Amino acid sequence: MTSVEPVVSNAGPLMVLAKLNLLHLLKELYGRVRIPRSVYEEVVIEGLRQGYEDARTLKLFMDQMNWMPEEVTATPRELQTVHLDRGERDTLALAISLGKGLVLMDETAGREVARFLDVTVRGSLGVLVEAYRKYLISADQLRLYCAELGRRNDVWINRTLVERLLQEVLGE
């Protein structure tokens, strides 16, 4: 388990890992992941309403882990004027209120704001690479998961980025 605390996740990595049935990597890598209520409502509540299987998977996992969504009671001044969706803003606000730590986020605009605020950020692919580097998944599994991400129409991760990641990490 990594020593970075706390870890706060936005919607993207939760959906990606649920679709790949890899939510257990969050527990293995980070112990606990904090999730703002607005992100939970977006991914689980709205996802269930629309019939998405990954929403069911995420709800079951969170219930089993006893990870409850958290209220964001204050938004730092520097986040009040940025153009982010509510989930991204709440994710960053929760991370800042908890001492920054690590934010899991795929969206480019949110990642840029996180870096500007000196918050460490990692995306879905970064979680997979970390799991590979910590021997939680093999090189073959990393290739398989990246291929799955590349073929899916319900995951919005740039295929060129996936290919570049495999080249950098595995030398392929």
Residue 115 in any domain: the answer is yes
Residue 138 in any domain: the answer is no
pLDDT at residue 3 is higher than 60: no
Rounded Cα distance, 139 and 88, in Å: 31
Residue 144 in any domain: the answer is no
Residue 112 in any domain: the answer is yes
Structure tokens at 30: 């980070």
Residue 52 in any domain: the answer is yes
User: Residue 87 is part of a domain; what is its CATH number?
Assistant: 3.40.50.1010
pLDDT, tens only, 90-105: 999 999 999 988 999 9
pLDDT at residue 66 is higher than 90: yes
Query: In total, how many domains does the chain have?
Result: 1
Residue 167 in any domain: the answer is no
Residue 161 in any domain: the answer is no
In this prediction, residues 161-171 reach a mean pLDDT of 88
In this prediction, residues 126-146 reach a mean pLDDT of 96
Domain containing 23 equals 7-133
Model-wide pTM > 0.85: yes
Residue 101 in any domain: the answer is yes
C-alpha distances out from residue 17 to 57, 82, 125, Å: 10, 27, 10
